[in-house]
């Protein structure tokens, strides 16, 4: 009898443990996002506040925006948080999300060597890229189908230099941080388009500086979407919706605004419901 009671107790404890594990698993989501939100340190700042408010853990998979969108299309993420509005709107139009919400913005900047051999400095990104191409100056492109890469290609097209970017143009197929590291190399001394958030958090600046900023075409908007459970039934809709509601609501917007490096704000909340 005693042995039976012990077995029953052990079984009950095991079942409780399994239920607790299942509950813990349910209280977690996967967010497919861009490298700029991760490498800038934004998620490290806001996610503890989200966890405190909701009890939900967030696993961020940071990729180029194109890869993040592909991941969400496959149903391997619950939420998509990226910065390529055209691609995001197609994601919604194709039925992979019911709606796209704007979250925040910052801007792109052209980074380059302080000596600025191509004489790009100013507030006109199109004119600057024309000078880079004409000078055959070293230029590091992410080449990874990210939101930053998509923006860079748009700017080259505006400059009518998309077919001839100069002999110094190289694609690294890498994230923003590695691209900046390549540009900072003494052997490279290259120009590179970066989002401002990653640049502000970047430590290995070497001889690099911001050369072009302030052009309204450099505006960089971020959006967030809950992946459709109609497409992918495994999506954690309730938990994912809590994240979307929080990051676009007062608490999440305040957390985004409060993230600063050296007193400088990296992202500016602009969610509208």
| Residue 63: both structure tokens together | 């990729």
Instruction: Look at the chain and count its residues.
Output: 273
pLDDT of amino acid 16: 46
pLDDT of amino acid 23: 47
- pLDDT tens-digit readout, 166-205: 999 999 999 899 999 999 987 778 999 999 999 999 988 9
- pLDDT tens-digit readout, 33-61: 998 898 899 999 999 999 999 999 999 99
Prediction pTM value: 0.84
Write out residues in the chain with pLDDT < 70, as ranges.
Answer: 1-26, 273
pLDDT of amino acid 61: 97
């Amino acid at each position: 009898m005693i042995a039976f009671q012990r077995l029953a107790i052990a079984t009950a404890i095991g079942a409780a443990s399994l239920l607790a594990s299942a509950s813990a698993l349910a209280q977690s989501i996967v967010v497919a996002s861009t490298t700029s939100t991760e490498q800038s340190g934004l998620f490290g700042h806001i996610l503890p506040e989200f966890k405190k408010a909701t009890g939900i853990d967030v696993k961020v998979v940071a990729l180029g925006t194109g890869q993040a969108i592909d991941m969400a299309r496959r149903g391997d993420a619950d939420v998509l948080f990226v910065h390529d509005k055209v691609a995001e709107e197609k994601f919604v139009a194709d039925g992979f999300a019911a709606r796209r919400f704007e979250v925040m913005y910052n801007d792109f900047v052209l980074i380059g060597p302080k000596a600025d051999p191509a004489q790009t400095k100013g507030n006109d990104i199109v004119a600057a890229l024309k000078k880079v191409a004409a000078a055959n100056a070293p230029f590091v492109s992410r080449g990874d189908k990210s939101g930053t890469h998509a923006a860079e290609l748009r700017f080259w097209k505006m400059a009518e230099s998309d077919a001839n970017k100069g002999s110094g143009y190289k694609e690294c197929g890498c994230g923003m941080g590695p691209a900046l590291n390549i540009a900072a190399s003494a052997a490279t001394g290259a120009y590179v388009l970066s989002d401002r958030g990653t640049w502000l958090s970047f430590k290995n600046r070497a001889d690099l500086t911001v050369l072009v900023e302030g052009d309204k075409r450099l505006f960089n908007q971020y959006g967030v979407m809950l992946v459709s459970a109609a497409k992918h039934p495994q999506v954690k809709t309730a938990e994912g919706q809590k994240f979307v509601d929080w990051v676009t609501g007062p608490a999440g917007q305040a957390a985004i605004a409060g993230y600063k490096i050296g007193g400088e704000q990296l992202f500016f909340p602009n969610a509208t419901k």
